[in-house]
């Protein structure tokens, strides 16, 4: 599968464990004919779905246009980790933005996790929701930073849910001796990402949103109202919201130069059985390591290991995805040498140069959010909430995010790849040293 993964008459989800265990495989019609609405949302991932849901809650008439299927993109393929904080650490945010704004972003991140949980509870979304993330130190030099970070988060933010875990205890928790310590964050969640997204789509529809699938937006103008055009239909809308993230393609050149689409890969083993599952993840938390190209893993609802590892920066995925991700898994768990890999898949996410999300306006009535840099389950859900606030005329919190500096990739949309690939390969190499 590739970034340019479309063209089917009726789009299907990528072949993943999530698609195989989806609560439903509802197909929705394509847009045909002329339509009028208050808000048109482009993109049926967490950004678009959350924006549509929150807008409908505020009484807006909303049409959401998805090029493929709801959650066909990263929102239906990711690791399912719902982390606190932004993708960048608070210490770095303090240097970048000052203490007051860094604290605002920390508070938004806690609200993001809470919003995910509230959406799931309020709408009875069945998505294997569980609690806790263990962040493990891949190098001895990361241990001291972890201790300082915990103290800093207590002293400056009053955050008490982050605990230091000694090496021996990490070994016990993971059945792996290669990590040097860990940070257990009791404020994080993890879930089945596709079922969360589909539940959000159902909740949005129940709130009055109309969703069209197989409805790729080809163009829109900058009028008030603006006209949005798909192959078979048009929507005239007072407001436009864009949530296309890593799949934006050439739709909007003003946004494309600020993000870089990159591919990341995940596998699902066969069910491990209760004993082996408890041996490798004793407390059923999610786990992520401190490498630049992060490994992340968790157990599924039926005790499979869901392991994410490896990236590439081309328009194609590796040929043998099971083998590609398995080598990362075996570095952590050599005891799974004989475990069958039932599924492996990839997805495309958008990163920004400084790993902070990119929010903004194209016109006074056109808003977007993108570039969550691998932290989008909570952040894109929160982005949808803030986009809805901005459309409804309460843009203070949206503007806090929109004012976080973002930078264009050197070389713009045409030449950004060579620099990025060189940089990523350099840091990937550093991981190995
Ligand atoms: C393999 C992988 C693992 C990840 N793991 C995690 C994780 O564990 N935790 C975490 O927080 N984040 C993770 N992420 C990132 C997270 O999944 C994303 O940040 C998040 O899903 C972005 O949501 P979104 O709605 O903005 O974009 P997407 O979910 O990608 O949705 C964008 C949608 O826009 C549609 N679209 C694009 N162009 C058009 C058009 N012209 N017309 C209509 N529709 C269009 C696409 O078809 C797509 O469905 C991971 C990402 C990947 C790929």
Q: What is the pLDDT of residue 409?
A: 81
Of the candidate ranges 94-98, 257-261, 263-267, 294-298, the one whose mean pLDDT is the lowest: 257-261
The pLDDT of residue 418 is above 90: no
Q: Does residue 369's CB lie within 6 angstroms of at least one atom of ligand 1?
A: no
In ligand 1, the atom with minimum distance to the C-alpha of 350 is 19
Q: Does residue 347's CB lie within 6 angstroms of at least one atom of ligand 1?
A: yes
| Start-end of H helices in 340-411 | 376-391, 396-402
Q: Does residue 45's CB lie within 6 angstroms of at least one atom of ligand 1?
A: yes
Mean pLDDT of 272-292: 96
Q: What is the pLDDT of residue 126?
A: 98
Task: Please tell me which residue, 344 or 25, carries the higher pLDDT value.
Answer: 344
Write the residue with the smallest CA distance to atom 33 of ligand 1: 43
Mutate which of 349, 383, 401 for ligand 1 pocket (most atoms within 8 A of beta carbon): 349
Write the residue with the smallest CA distance to atom 52 of ligand 1: 78
Mutate which of 376, 381, 382, 387 for ligand 1 pocket (most atoms within 8 A of beta carbon): 376
pLDDT tens across 221-258, in order?
A: 999 999 999 999 999 999 999 999 999 999 999 999 99
Q: pLDDT tier at 428 (50, 70, 90 boundaries)?
A: low
Q: Does residue 74's CB lie within 6 angstroms of at least one atom of ligand 1?
A: yes
pLDDT tens across 195-210, in order?
A: 999 999 999 999 999 9
Q: Does residue 134's CB lie within 6 angstroms of at least one atom of ligand 1?
A: no
How many CB atoms are closer than 10 A to CB 27?
13
pLDDT tens across 3-16, in order?
A: 344 444 678 999 99
Q: What is the pLDDT of residue 385?
A: 98
How many CB atoms are closer than 10 A to CB 269?
24
Non-local (6+) Cβ contacts of 391 within 8 A are 39, 51, 55, 60, 239, 241, 367
The pLDDT of residue 430 is above 90: no
The pLDDT of residue 432 is above 70: no
H helix or E strand, kind and range, residue 343: strand 341-351
How many CB atoms are closer than 10 A to CB 107?
13
Q: What is the pLDDT of residue 25?
A: 79
pLDDT tens across 161-197, in order?
A: 999 999 999 999 999 999 999 999 999 999 999 999 9
Q: What is the pLDDT of residue 42?
A: 98
Q: What is the pLDDT of residue 5?
A: 46
Write the residue with the smallest CA distance to atom 41 of ligand 1: 217
Q: Does residue 243's CB lie within 6 angstroms of at least one atom of ligand 1?
A: yes
Mean pLDDT of 323-335: 97
Q: What is the pLDDT of residue 414?
A: 57
Write the residue with the smallest CA distance to atom 2 of ligand 1: 78
Q: What is the pLDDT of residue 2?
A: 36
Q: What is the pLDDT of residue 24?
A: 87
pLDDT tens across 358-395, in order?
A: 999 999 999 999 999 999 999 999 999 999 999 999 99
Mean pLDDT of 351-355: 92
pLDDT tens across 334-350, in order?
A: 999 999 999 999 999 99
Q: Does residue 244's CB lie within 6 angstroms of at least one atom of ligand 1?
A: yes
Q: Does residue 133's CB lie within 6 angstroms of at least one atom of ligand 1?
A: no
Q: What is the pLDDT of residue 6?
A: 44
Q: pLDDT tier at 293 (50, 70, 90 boundaries)?
A: confident
> DSSP for 268-311?
EES---HHHHHHHSTT--EEEESSSS--EEEE-TTS-EEEEEEE
Using alpha carbons only, give the angle 115, 120, 123 rounded to the nearest 5 degrees: 115
Whether the full predicted model's pTM is greater than 0.75, yes or no, is: yes
The pLDDT of residue 220 is above 70: yes
Quick check: 46 and 381 in contact, CB under 8 A?
Answer: yes
Instruction: Tell how strand 210-212 and strand 62-65 pair up.
Output: parallel
The pLDDT of residue 63 is above 60: yes
Write the residue with the smallest CA distance to atom 11 of ligand 1: 375
Write the residue with the smallest CA distance to atom 19 of ligand 1: 376
CA of 341 to the centre of ligand 1 (A): 24
CA of 57 to the centre of ligand 1 (A): 23
Burial class (CB in 10 A: 0-12, 13-18, 19+), 84: buried
The pLDDT of residue 356 is above 90: yes
Backbone angles phi, psi at 325, to 5 degrees: -80, -30
The pLDDT of residue 71 is above 90: yes
Quick check: 283 and 128 in contact, CB under 8 A?
Answer: no
Mean pLDDT of 117-144: 98
């Amino acid at each position: 599968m590739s970034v340019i993964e479309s063209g089917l008459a009726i789009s299907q989800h990528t072949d993943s464990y999530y698609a195989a265990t989806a609560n439903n495989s509802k197909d929705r019609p394509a847009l045909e004919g002329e339509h009028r609405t208050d808000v048109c949302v482009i993109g049926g991932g967490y950004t678009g779905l959350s924006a549509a849901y929150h807008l409908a809650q505020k009484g807006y008439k909303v049409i959401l246009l998805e090029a493929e299927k709801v959650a066909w993109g990263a929102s239906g393929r990711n690791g399912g980790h719902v982390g606190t904080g932004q993708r960048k650490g608070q210490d770095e945010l303090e240097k970048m933005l000052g203490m007051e704004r860094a604290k605002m972003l920390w508070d938004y991140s806690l609200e993001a996790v809470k919003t995910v949980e509230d959406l799931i509870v309020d709408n009875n979304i069945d998505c294997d929701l569980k609690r806790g993330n263990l962040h493990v130190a891949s190098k001895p030099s990361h241990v001291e930073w972890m201790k300082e970070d915990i103290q800093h988060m207590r002293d400056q933010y009053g955050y008490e849910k982050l605990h230091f875990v000694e090496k021996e205890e990490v070994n016990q928790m993971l059945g792996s001796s290669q990590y040097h310590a860990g940070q257990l964050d009791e404020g994080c969640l993890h879930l089945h990402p596709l079922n969360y997204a589909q539940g959000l789509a159902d909740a949005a529809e129940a709130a009055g949103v109309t969703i069209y699938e197989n409805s790729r937006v080809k163009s829109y103008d900058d009028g008030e109202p603006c006209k949005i055009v798909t192959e078979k239909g048009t929507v005239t809308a007072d407001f436009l919201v864009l949530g296309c993230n890593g799949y934006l393609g050439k739709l909007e050149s003003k946004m494309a130069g600020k993000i870089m689409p990159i591919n990341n890969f995940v596998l699902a083993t066969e069910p491990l059985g209760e004993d082996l599952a408890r041996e490798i993840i004793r407390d059923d938390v999610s786990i992520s390591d401190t490498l630049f190209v992060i490994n992340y893993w968790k157990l599924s609802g039926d005790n499979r290991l869901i392991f994410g590892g490896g990236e590439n920066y081309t328009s194609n995925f590796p040929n043998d995805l099971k083998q590609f991700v398995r080598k990362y898994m075996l570095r952590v768990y050599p005891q799974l040498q004989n475990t069958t890999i039932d599924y492996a898949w990839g997805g495309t996410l958008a990163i920004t140069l400084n790993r902070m999300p990119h929010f903004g306006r194209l016109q006074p009535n056109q808003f977007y959010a993108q570039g969550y840099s691998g932290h989008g389950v909570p952040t894109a859900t929160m982005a949808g909430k803030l986009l809805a606030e901005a459309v409804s005329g309460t843009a203070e919190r949206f503007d806090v995010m929109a004012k976080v500096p973002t930078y264009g990739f050197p070389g713009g949309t045409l030449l950004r790849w060579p620099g990025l690939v060189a940089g990523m390969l350099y840091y990937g190499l550093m991981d190995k040293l």
